[in-house]
Amino acid sequence: MTFASIPSPPVSTFELGPLTIHVYALCILAGVFVAVAIANVRWRRVGGDFDQILDIAVVSVLAGIVGARLYHVVTTPERFFGPDGDPAEIVRVWNGGLGIWGGILFGVLAAWAWCRRKGYPMALLADAVAPALLVAQAVGRLGNWFNRELYGAATTLPWGLDVDGSGTLYHPTFLYEMVWNLAGAALIVWVGRRAGRVLKAGSLLAVYVMWYTAGRTWIEALRIDYAHTFLGVRVNVWVSMAVFVCGVAAFVAVQRLGSRTGDLVGRLRAVTEREERLRDGASGHETDAPAAGAADTSAAVDAVDGEGARGGADASGTPDVRTPDAPAAES
């Protein structure tokens, strides 16, 4: 008995004047906006501000799109090269074809480079964006539904996706991944609140990697779209399992070598205060000379680091460790 037959959307594009708007692209953009909103709230809790998260988002998203496209080109070269390929398709991202692994890799590398340049603690950013990434991926999966792509094999379960109106139902893998990702986002927030004082900074991104790859492994195995295989198993399944192992290793390494969240919060707040003073000075709100401002910034960083070393525990002796999920009173 069928309890839920999910119809496919009748359209995947619409016209707006001379432009053809792809719903797939709108879903990706919606995911980005939601992720920025979530990350902003969490980033501000540990001392950052919206301008910082917006800059990071712009750099990471652009790099992520390039990486995702390159991954797709490398793993499905026959679509772009050879007798039946079209190299011009490489730049036609709106036709679909973004590999999540390339997007994550390039996006993370771009964020790391930006944080290093600006002096932001990357570990704090990792914790702030971990659940936001899963929500963004969940929203983006709706684009596959509109494109009628990446569904699974035919199913006799009480639910399924009606792709062509024939009555045959298929595994709605886009929906499975949406639900899995949203559950993972909730789990990461819960872990951050319950274990934030125990886990080192950056741990939540490792949890994200483990959760997403665990789900992607079984969801990918259900899909029937064309994919290269190795030993009879889809390449993306192998990649998911390998990245899961890397996530476990990263989680262990962070616990052994990482910094406490409370130690990094002070540094981020010092950098944020410096940037705010520079912005105020550029707006004419301050008249201090640039050299004096730089000296003040250096002193502020030293002062905050000193306070972190001296004030790492409250009056009861409990370490003052805060995570994006455990907001502190504004000072």
Instruction: List, as residue ranges, the binding site.
Output: 141
> In which region does residue 15 sit, left (phi positive, over 0), alpha (psi from -120 to 50) or beta (all else)?
beta
Contact between 222 and 256 under an 8 Å Cβ cutoff? The reply is: no
Map residue 288 onto helix, strand or coil.
coil
Amino acid occupying residue 78: E
Return the closest-CA partner of residue 34 out of 143, 186, 177, 136: 136
CA dihedral 19, 23, 25, 30 (to 10 degrees): 120
Contact 162, 8 (CB under 8 A): yes
Angstrom distance (rounded) from CA 237 to CA 234: 5
Evaluate whether 308 touches 263 at the Cβ level (below 8 Å). yes
| Three-state SS at 319 | strand
Phi-psi region of 96 (alpha: psi -120 to 50; beta: other; left: phi over 0): left
Distance in angstroms (rounded) separating the CA atoms of residues 197 and 185: 19
